[in-house]
Structures are given as structure tokens and as C-alpha cells.
Structure 1
Amino acid sequence: MEPIAEKIRYTVEEYIALVQESDSKYEYVGGQIYGMAGGTPEHSLIATNTTRELGNNLKGKPGRIYNSDLALAISQNQYVYPAASIICGPVQTGEMHKNAATNPVVIIEVFSPSTKGFDKRAKFRLYRPIPSFRQYVQIIPNQILVDVFTKVDDDLWRIASYWKLSQTVRLESVDAEIPMSEIYLGVDLQEDQE
């Protein structure tokens, strides 16, 4: 991910002003503003499949799934747009950015080649201090692989990896499941035979 301009640092006020004046999405991390690029057809299809299936699975339950249009306020100076997030109860927002949620329980990222390293490592580190945050789902769009990190305590996360279309991803923090075959529905990929 590359910053949108050469300026060394932006204030959170400059970021908020940009977001309010633009139809585009921008993330704000460490004083840098990053433009959100469009994804591949596979990325888009996987994100759509995942939000649709989890939305259906969450009917009648307290959790609601939100797509990539909902920003998350990690702190008063960190704002990001995951592929999706699940929030239980009313959406709580930050003081500076009134359209950025502060209380995700599950955060879902669908990696793209340009953001994979940032999403996999840096964003996970940013997300961990969020008090409501319990599970992090990382979906790889160019192979059948989903990793789910589940919070055990403040310093310990358990990982479950799914790599077969016959498996079902379990999100116990919101009492939801999604078959791998539904996540990758319509995506032309080869299943790992190992």
C-alpha cells in the first residue's frame, strides 16, 4: 500500500476532511492516508459470497455483518476499511469520525496482492487492542485457504486453518458458520490435495 501523496504526515482532521469531501475510500494509519484500490473479480466475488452467507446465517442472532463500506476506528488516529465486520448490538462510533465503528467482534479481510502483507500482519496488530474484537478471518482469494484467529486472552490467539471446500468455517464468537464451498462459490481455483 502506497500513501496517496508525498506529504510525510497528515493530521486526523485532514483525513476526516478528505473523507467527508470524497466519494472514494481512504484508510488512515500512522499519519499516512492510503487510497483504497478496487480488487480483482475473485476478491469481489469472495467478499460478496462471504457477506451474503454470514448475513443469512446471522438472521435472528444479535450479530450483523457490514461490508467494506463501514470504516473501523481503531483509535482516534487509525481508520481502516476491512472487507467485512460483524458487530453485536448497536454500532458504536468514534468521536472524530462519526461513520467509523469502534465495536467489531469479527473482522474479515480478503487479501489482494497489493495489501496482503499489510492486512496479514500490520492490520492484525492494529485490531488486537479493540476491546470487542474476538475473531479475525483472513481469506486468500487465489487459493483455497482461510485462517481464523480467535482470541483466547489478551496475549494469546488460537488459529484454525481451512483449506478444503468440504470444511466449514466456525465463528463461535457470533455463533455462525460458513461452508468453504460458499466462500469460494464461482471462483475457479484448485483445492490443495495435501
Structure 2
Amino acid sequence: MLAQAITKVTAQEYLLTERASAIKHEFIDGEVFAMAGASKKHNQIASNLVRIIGNQILHKPCSIYSSDMRVKIEKANKYAYPDIVITCENEDFEDKEEDTLLNPIIIIEILSDSTESYDRGNKFFYYRQIDSFIEYILVSQKKFHIEKYTRQTNNSWLYSEFNIIDAQFELSLISCTISLQEVYDKVK
């Protein structure tokens, strides 16, 4: 997912260049990293999740965005592209372009060999600095396995995992129930 750092730039320079680029880049404290493309499995899982969740929040004041919605992590001076991001009620964007979300409540990352360590480690650390962020979902491409982290009132994180095809998990903030069978539909 992340390649070599290109050079040190300001956040404003990053945004100006990023908005004109055909390739997505993440920004971490002045460094810009090109992002790699996704596999067929990754795309199928992401499509399934957007459809499943999107259908369940259709008449709720929530929105779901795929990997083209950038998230700004102000406390970490970072911009990231989650695989899926969900927000509700008062969406807050960085500027009038509305392409950089400031207040996600749920972030979903689909793990791959090249991103798993980063998604579990530093990226989760950065995301936790967003006050509105409450649920983090990690989805395996290799097996039926979903992990869920939920922020508690004391700022600790509750871990749950689901690894049976008949299992279901809930995105409690948006009252959305998801079966692993639906998540992994058409994934071979």
C-alpha cells in the first residue's frame, strides 16, 4: 500500500498536488507516500461491505464512503485513505472541496500482505487520535476473519473477533448487522 517517501512538503502543498493526481498518496508529517492498487478479493470485499452497510443506513443520517474519501488526522499531521469510512449527522470536511473528512465514526480496513502490519499498528494509532472515531474493523482477505475494535468511555478499546462463516457482527453506532457470509460473497 505505502511505497517510498517522495519528499517533505506542507499539508497545503500535499492537498494541491493530491487533488490533481491520478494516483492516491498518504501524507504523514510532511512525507508523501504513494499507495498501491488493490486486489480483486480486496475490491469484492469492499464492494460487498459498501452495499451491505449502505442498504442498512439508507434512511439514517449517515454516509458511507469508499477508498477515495480522504481522512485528515489533525493531531498527527496526517492524511489517510481508509478502505471504507462512515460518518453520521454533522459531517465535517476540511474545506469546500468536501474530499477530506474530519470526523469519521467507523473506519474499515481490508488487510493485505503489504498493509496488515501498518493497518494494525501505526495507522490504527493515528486513527485513535480522531475524537469522533469509535469503531475500527479489520477484514482479512485470506480467510473468514473480521476483527472489531470499539472505543470505550474510558478511551480503552474492546476487541472482538469473528471467524465462522455463519457469524454476524454489529456496527453498534449505526445499528447495522453484517454476516460474514455476505462480506465474503463471491470472494474466492
> Which residue in the other structure is 2:94 paired with?
94
Question: What is the TM-score of this pair, normalised by structure 2?
Answer: 0.92
Q: Which residue of 1 aligns with 2:68?
A: 69
How is 1:26-175 mapped onto 2 (pairs within 5 angstroms)?
26-75=25-74, 77-94=77-94, 98-175=98-175
Unpaired stretches in structure 1, ≥5 consecutive residues: 189-194
- How far off is 1:143 after superposition? 1.2
Distance between the aligned counterparts of 1:90 and 1:16, measured in 2?
Answer: 23
Q: In structure 2, the residue corresponding to 1:45 is in which secondary structure? A: helix
8 Å CA contact 2:18, 2:24 repeated in 1: yes
Q: How far apart are the structure 2 equivalents of 1:149 and 1:117?
A: 16
Q: Aligned partners of 2:177, 2:132: CA distance in 1, in Å?
A: 19
Count of residues in Structure 1 that have an aligned counterpart in Structure 2:
186
SS in 2 for 1:3: strand
- 1:132 aligned counterpart, secondary structure: coil
> Counterparts of 1:178 and 1:12 in 2: how far apart (Å)?
37
> What is the alpha-carbon root mean square deviation over aligned residues?
1.7
Runs (4+) of structure 1 exceeding 4 A deviation are 95-98
Taking only the aligned residue pairs, the percentage that are identical comes to: 29
Q: Which runs of 5+ in 2 are unaligned?
A: none
8 Å Cα contact 1:73/1:97 also seen in 2? no
- Name the SS of the counterpart of 1:186 in structure 2: coil
Residues 104-158 of structure 1: CA deviation (Å, up to 9, x unaligned) = 1100001121111111111111011211111000011111110010011353000
Partner amino acid for 1:2? A
1-structure distance, mates of 2:168, 2:53: 12
